[in-house]
Amino acid sequence: MARGDVVAELTAVSGTSSYTIQPGSGVEWVIKTFAGDHNSSGFLRAYDGSITTNMVTGAEAGDIGGQVTVPINNTHYLAMRNSTGSTLNMAYFGYITKD
């Protein structure tokens, strides 16, 4: 993949689980949007391998999920969290800034 290429994933995230959004070593992405099919139970979290912080939670996800701009790399990345007991479809879309 090359700088400017799209990075995206549509995935089914099982109940009370997370899906990690993390580029390979030396690669950087900008995530522009994320989505889930149950906005009151989807979370976007910042993560560094040991510390997790919520960026967008619950109902905010429906309003803000399409308006994020988050640069990430292999050290500081994101996770989409499903807090329901059932599987949710979730997605993210962005582009490569450094390859």
| Boundaries of every domain in the chain | 6-98
- pTM here is 0.86
Q: Give the Cα separation of 27 and 44 in Å (integer).
A: 20
Instruction: Read off the pLDDT of residues 54-64 as tens digits, 9 standing for 90 and up.
Output: 887 776 666 66
What's the N-to-C CA distance of the chain in angstroms? 7
CATH architecture of 6-98: Sandwich (2.60)
pLDDT at 67: 77
43: which strand partners? Answer: 81
User: 32: pLDDT confidence band, cut at 50, 70 and 90?
Assistant: very high
